[in-house]
Amino acid sequence: FEADLDLTGKRSLLHLLDTAVSYEGSQRLKSWLTAPVPDLDLANRRQQIVRELVPLHLFRDKIALNAMEAAGARRTWKANQLVEWLQTSDTSGAPRRWLILFGAWVMLNAILLAAHLLGWLPPWWQITLAVYLGLWLLWSRTMEAAADQATALEGALRQLRAVFGQLETFSYRDTPHLRALCEPYLDPTHRPSRYLTRIGRVVAAMGLRENPLLRLILNALLPWDVYLAYRLNRTRADLGQRGAGWMDVWFELEALASLANLGYLNP
């Protein structure tokens, strides 16, 4: 029935209303418009939030601007790809074991080098260092795809931090219903900006991979790549389902902002 009533498609009600940047926000709005039997309680709750959002045009515009910068050149951003990446972590304990192995190997190399310089041992450190670097090269091949994906998402993570940071610091004094929706962002112990900042630092440090010489020197002296992979996996594991919850609220807010924009333009 949605096509018969021009609810979706080109020159449709959805096309008129939709201001969401994310694909999921657009789909959330579409599901509301095409629900055959709307939930009246949910509809009333949305209406209360929309009323509070209507006069907050600067708030809505700033969220949309940050979201567009996160999306880059894409008109509609499928943000669930980022959600899936945030939720994908290795729970087997392998990253920690690799870190312990490479860390112990670096210490062994240092001890053998010191012993050689003091004249106590032959240059055995050259053999252990060569084996260490060979193992590191083999290990790094398995991590290249994950590291490249993390680096590609750095800009989106930075802008999401701006979006969520705005929702964390906004004064909800006169908007109790909007505050209730954004409650997941207001937990002082689990603020999304903190997690995204931690991920952003690790991803930025991974950018050193672009300099092969510096990368080789760093990894010869300490397990740099292995440590970064461990920290990235640990932070993603700490996020758990929180990341999906934060993104879900954002999708909801985008859909509600679309309705509020119509109310603002047609008071």
Fold of domain 1-267: MutS, DNA mismatch repair protein; Chain A, domain 3 (1.10.1420)
Residue 118 has pLDDT above 80, yes or no: yes
- Give the phi and the psi of residue 122 in degrees, each rounded to 5: -65, 170
Percent of the chain topping pLDDT 70: 90
Residue 139 has pLDDT above 60, yes or no: yes
Q: Out of 82-91, 171-180, 184-193, which region has the weakest mean confidence (pLDDT)?
A: 82-91
- 55 burial class (0-12, 13-18, 19+ CB within 10 angstroms)? middle
- pLDDT on residue 76: 58
| Mean pLDDT (whole number) for 239-261 | 88
Residue 2 has pLDDT above 60, yes or no: no
Q: Which tokens sit at 152? A: 């590609």
| Mean pLDDT (whole number) for 2-9 | 60
| Mean pLDDT (whole number) for 191-207 | 84
- pLDDT on residue 254: 93
Q: pTM to 2 decimals?
A: 0.80
CB 126 within 8 A of CB 26: no
Residue 198 has pLDDT above 60, yes or no: yes
- pLDDT on residue 6: 60
| Mean pLDDT (whole number) for 203-220 | 86
What is the distance between the alpha carbons of residues 166 and 185, in angstroms, rounded to a whole number?
Answer: 10
